[in-house]
Amino acid sequence: MENLMINRMMFIRTFCALLLLLGSVRGEMAEPAKKKLQIFILAGQSNMVGHANPHTIGTLYHSDDARDKRLIQMVFKNRSGLSKKALSEQLKRTRKIDELTGGISNEKIKAMSAGPEKTALEAEVKKLKEEYEAYKNKIISACVVSDQVYITSIADGNRASGPLSVGYGGNRDKIGPEFGFGLSIAQKTDAPILIIKTSWGGKSLNYNFRPPSAGPYKLNEKEQAAKNAADISKNASLNWRMMNEAVHNVLKDLKKHHPAYDAAVGYDMAGFVWFQGFNDQFS
């Protein structure tokens, strides 16, 4: 009887240990393997800086194209409250403001004499403009804030870091190619993504972003005769050097720039984008 009790206790202990082991193994199996941080460098001049007003994204609702409908799903939060009807109302509002004021110069109101009629018109225009701004703000607040894609950005004087959303263009109210690019890449991988953006308006590949592989910059006759010829030579490739400095500064502390970065897993330099060469036509 005593042996039977001992055997039963040993069986129970063994069974419990197996359950614990099985639970541990299943837990390990359920946890997906971490993926390398995917780093993309975006560089260029003013079109990379980005001067688009985010509220213009709302014009996607004007299209019935299937591709634009997919873009709507990508860039806006679920249940954003936006619609084709709301866009149509905003466009009507815009036309009405221009009709009443005479356009951006406000010439119609300026030409009116002070009095009740002008006061009433100014009040109507003010109400329309408030509704106009409210719609713009609704568009901006409806834009996605990514938890997968982070960005550290130099866009002329606008320097910022954080989750990808609106505000990484020429100022905190604008967007550049980074917004659509980052969200599109996120649809193709479940790995964490970091964008390093370095952009300055009015710069060329031939001079400002000149890579070492292009060889030394050769001054033309006018530049050779200039009093600041030495500075012209010295500043060739300046933005190339600034870009490299910015990238290496980020690489020194990747955890600071993306919370999902794991040093034990590492990172991949996944891509480089240059946009675009407008200023090279003047070089």
Q: Would you list the domain boundaries of the chain?
A: 37-53+145-282, 77-142
Residue 30 — very low, low, confident or very high, per pLDDT cuts 50/70/90?
low
pTM (2 decimals)?
Answer: 0.83
Query: Is the confidence at residue 25, as pLDDT, over 50?
Result: no
What integer best gives the mean pLDDT of the chain? Answer: 90
* Under 8 Å between Cβ of 200 and 239: yes
Dist. CA 38–CA 71, nearest whole Å: 22
> In 10 A of CB 202, how many CB atoms?
12
Query: Is the confidence at residue 27, as pLDDT, over 80?
Result: no
Q: What is the pLDDT of residue 12?
A: 53
List the single range of 2-6, 83-87, 112-116 with lowest mean pLDDT. Answer: 2-6
| pLDDT per position as a tens digit, 244-261 | 999 999 999 999 999 999
| pLDDT per position as a tens digit, 164-210 | 999 999 999 899 999 999 999 999 999 999 999 999 999 999 999 99
Dist. CA 124–CA 111, nearest whole Å: 17
Dist. CA 84–CA 61, nearest whole Å: 5
Q: Give burial (CB, 10 Å; 0-12/13-18/19+) of 71.
A: middle
% the chain with pLDDT above 90: 82
Q: What is the pLDDT of residue 7?
A: 53
Q: DSSP class of residue 175?
A: B
Q: Where are the beta strands (DSSP E) in the chain?
A: 37-44, 149-155, 158-163, 193-199, 267-275
Q: What is the pLDDT of residue 93?
A: 95
**Phi, psi for 267 (deg, rounded to 5):** -145, 160
What is the average pLDDT across 137-157? Answer: 96
Residue 276 — very low, low, confident or very high, per pLDDT cuts 50/70/90?
confident
| pLDDT per position as a tens digit, 111-135 | 999 999 999 999 999 999 999 999 9
Widest CA span of the chain, in angstroms? 113
Among residues 218, 232, 210, the alpha carbon closest in space to that of 277 is found at: 210
